[in-house]
Amino acid sequence: MLLVRSPHPPPPPPPAVTLFHHYFPSPARFPEYPAFIDGLSGRTITSTELRTDALRLGLGIHSLFSQTRTPRQAPPVALLFSPNSVDFPQIFFGCQSIKVITSLANASYTPKELAYQIKDSQPFIAFVHPTLQEPFFRAIKLLDAEAFHSIPKVYWAVPEREILPGLRNDVQSYERLLVDPTRIDGFHGIQAEADEAHDTALLCYSSGTTGLPKGKLHRS
């Protein structure tokens, strides 16, 4: 075997930053570049809009967590149960902007599979697409039957204009968490400190068909 070594010194390791700061450096390289486009509606989100609304949502989530925090809910976890949509990345990066661990749930999960993920990751907040309300609330009933008390606060993972009649009126759109744009002046998200850039950022689970469920979060 022939081993070839470069005559150049190895490059320095990249800076230790969070996922949010990796994807959204300031200033943005292409501020008006379309980050996401909804193929059906034509709705477009630029990279600047995505970053701005992620920070607005992040501060709203941070405020909510500060009000409801308990010792068992640290570090904070958010559940995202939604099919692909242009709101999905806004919610995801909103969580990442303040270092909230994001627990991504497969949109095809059964209530039992979803209940396991909620019980394991213990999210304090859940963003649920309206089309998935039935399996989500059935999962909550399963957890209630097990006397599981860490039920997350639920928000719809769609804008307010997409909340149609017939949905639960005790659940609001994630847009209700967006703070006023003036509140993010000078705020660029919560930076990683020391070795925190290597901590858990997101949890992806499987159905467990090949063995133990993936993405298990161990709490100290």
Specify the residue for token string 């450096």. Answer: 25
Retrieve residue 130's tokens: 């309206």
Determine the pLDDT at residue 2. Answer: 85
Strand order in the sheet with 77-81: 172-173, 153-156, 125-128, 77-81, 101-105, 202-204
Query: CB of 217 within 8 A of CB of 77?
Result: yes
Structure letter (DSSP) for residue 178: P
Query: CB of 78 within 8 A of CB of 64?
Result: no
pLDDT in single tens digits along all 220 residues of the chain: 788 889 999 888 777 888 898 888 877 778 888 999 988 888 899 999 999 999 999 999 999 988 776 555 467 899 999 999 999 999 999 999 999 999 999 999 999 999 999 998 899 999 999 999 999 999 999 999 999 988 999 999 999 999 988 888 889 999 999 999 999 999 999 988 877 777 888 888 765 555 555 555 544 4
In residues, how long is the chain?
Answer: 220
Determine the pLDDT at residue 157. Answer: 97
The pTM (predicted TM-score) of the whole model is 0.86
Q: How far is CA 109 from CA 92, 164, 205, in A?
A: 19, 23, 10
The answer to the question of residue 6 being in a domain is no
Q: How far is CA 34 from CA 41, 43, 89, in A?
A: 15, 10, 13
Q: How many CB atoms lie within 10 A of CB 83?
A: 12
The answer to the question of residue 220 being in a domain is no
The answer to the question of residue 125 being in a domain is yes
Q: How many domains does the chain have?
A: 1
Domain that residue 165 falls in: 19-204
- Among candidate residues 97, 60, 109, 99, the one with its CA nearest the CA of residue 77: 99
The answer to the question of residue 108 being in a domain is yes
Determine the pLDDT at residue 142. Answer: 96
Rounded to whole angstroms, how far apart are CA atoms 11 and 144? 53
The answer to the question of residue 13 being in a domain is no
Using CA atoms of 113, 116, 117, 120 in order, give the dihedral in degrees to the nearest 10: -170
Query: CB of 104 within 8 A of CB of 80?
Result: yes
The answer to the question of residue 188 being in a domain is yes
Extended beta strands in 13-93, E state: 34-37, 44-46, 77-81
The answer to the question of residue 214 being in a domain is no
Q: 81: domain CATH number?
A: 3.40.50.12780
The answer to the question of residue 41 being in a domain is yes
Retrieve residue 51's tokens: 């970053």
Determine the pLDDT at residue 220. Answer: 41
